[in-house]
């Protein structure tokens, strides 16, 4: 067990996001304990302490503990909470850093708080690069829990990238809206790329996206990722089936319930569905950008499809 005044963080879920957050934390002087069922030599080499059971995991951290869950949305989160909480002590903080449905987070916070623990819904953006070098956090939950977790989250965030959004559930709701905006932006860039391909001109597409990254109105990370992806991979080699975990579908259902018009985001979801039926340069471009920021797969992925089906537990 580590003792002293060093910041500490427990992480459950050491995949692409959780593993990179763990390495970033160690490099910034945070003592990190991760729970995994198998060895993680690359993380252990980077200074992360790995254990394989909850009792050892909790006893390796000093109270009040700050624990980050990097797990698929849905039943997995509830199962881990059920297995973890018996070992925790009053005022320990659990943070759900996945893309859970915000109403699930409201329910979980209520249940966890009744046990004397804090639960924060931590919308996490920035992809693998953000997890490794500085993420954007949108955090909902009670102020007392925020005060305990804030030193760790502010250390792991980019400048101005850590925000307490408000009441329980608000962090994951804000992240849900963020993902809807992301879908619309991806669709627009993909459509622009398709126009370039079919223009009849001999164009260097990577050079165009590089040009747009310097001083243009549409400059931004997604445009940069298009350039990077096109230099690394020919677009025609990319399968245009776009996979996703379904969160933006929840956003559309929420908008329908509130009778809020979302024409751009709605159409971007319909176009994503269309990518699973036919090939197209728009879809290849979207797949290229999604792979760039989140390591999302090219083509169909059964595990992601399953998460899309079961990720939301609470109904609207």
The pLDDT, as a whole number, for residue 204 is 96
For every residue of 158-195, DSSP letters joined together read EEEEEEEEESTTHHHHHHHHHHHHHHHHHHHHHHHHHH
Confidence bin at 239 (pLDDT 50/70/90): confident
Report d(CA 143, CA 140) in Å as an integer.
9
Confidence bin at 315 (pLDDT 50/70/90): low
Which residue is listed with tokens 């090219």? 298
Instruction: State yes or no: is 175 an active-site residue.
Output: yes
Among residues 272, 260, 293, the alpha carbon closest in space to that of 184 is found at 272
Taking only the tens place, the pLDDT of each residue in 258-312 is 999 999 999 999 999 999 888 899 999 999 999 888 888 888 888 888 888 888 8
- Sheet harboring 118-125: ordered strands across? 49-51, 31-35, 8-12, 66-69, 93-96, 118-125, 135-140, 157-166
The pLDDT, as a whole number, for residue 188 is 97
The pLDDT, as a whole number, for residue 114 is 98
The pLDDT, as a whole number, for residue 228 is 94
Among residues 198, 217, 196, 199, the alpha carbon closest in space to that of 208 is found at 196
pTM: 0.90
Which residue is listed with tokens 């509130």? 258
> What average pLDDT score do residues 206-211 get?
98
Confidence bin at 5 (pLDDT 50/70/90): low
User: Pick the catalytic residue: 35, 109, 182, 224?
Assistant: 182
Which residue is listed with tokens 């992301």? 182
The pLDDT, as a whole number, for residue 45 is 96
Structural domains of the chain in order of their starting residue, each with its CATH number: 8-167 (3.40.50.720), 174-310 (1.10.1040.10)
Report d(CA 180, CA 174) in Å as an integer.
10
Q: Which helix (H) or strand (E) holds 35?
A: strand 31-35
The pLDDT, as a whole number, for residue 76 is 96
Taking only the tens place, the pLDDT of each residue in 92-147 is 999 999 999 999 999 999 999 999 999 999 999 999 999 999 999 999 999 999 99
Residues whose CB is less than 8 angstroms from the CB of residue 257 and which lie 6 or more positions away in sequence, other chains included: 316
User: Pick the catalytic residue: 35, 109, 175, 243?
Assistant: 175
Taking only the tens place, the pLDDT of each residue in 56-74 is 999 999 999 999 999 999 9
């Amino acid at each position: 067990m580590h003792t002293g005044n060093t910041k500490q963080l427990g992480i459950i879920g050491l995949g692409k996001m959780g593993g990179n957050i763990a390495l970033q934390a160690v490099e910034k002087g945070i003592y990190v304990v991760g729970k995994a069922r198998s060895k993680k030599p690359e993380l252990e080499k980077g200074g992360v302490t790995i254990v394989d059971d909850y009792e050892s995991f909790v006893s390796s951290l000093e109270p009040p503990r700050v624990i980050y869950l990097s797990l698929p949305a849905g039943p997995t989160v509830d199962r881990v909470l059920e297995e973890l909480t018996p070992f925790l002590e009053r005022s320990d903080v659990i943070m759900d850093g996945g893309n859970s449905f915000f109403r699930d987070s409201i329910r979980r916070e209520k249940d966890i708080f009744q046990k004397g623990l804090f639960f924060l819904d931590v919308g996490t953006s920035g992809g693998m690069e953000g997890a490794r070098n500085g993420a954007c956090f949108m955090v909902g939950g009670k102020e007392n829990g925020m005060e305990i977790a804030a030193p760790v989250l502010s250390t792991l965030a980019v400048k101005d990238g850590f925000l307490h959004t408000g009441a329980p559930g608000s962090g994951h709701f804000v992240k849900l809206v963020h993902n809807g905006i992301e879908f619309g932006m991806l669709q627009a860039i993909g459509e622009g790329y398709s126009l370039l391909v079919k223009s009849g001109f001999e164009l260097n597409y990577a050079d165009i996206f590089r040009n747009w990254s310097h001083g243009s109105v549409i400059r931004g990370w997604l445009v940069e990722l298009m350039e990077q992806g096109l230099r690394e991979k020919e677009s025609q080699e990319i399968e245009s089936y776009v996979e996703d975990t379904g969160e933006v579908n929840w956003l559309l259902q929420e908008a329908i319930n509130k009778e809020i018009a979302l024409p751009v985001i709605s159409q971007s979801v319909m176009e994503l569905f269309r990518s699973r039926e036919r090939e197209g340069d728009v879809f290849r471009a979207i797949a290229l950008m999604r792979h760039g920021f989140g390591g999302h797969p090219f083509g169909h992925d059964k595990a992601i499809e399953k998460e899309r089906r079961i990720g939301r537990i609470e109904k609207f």
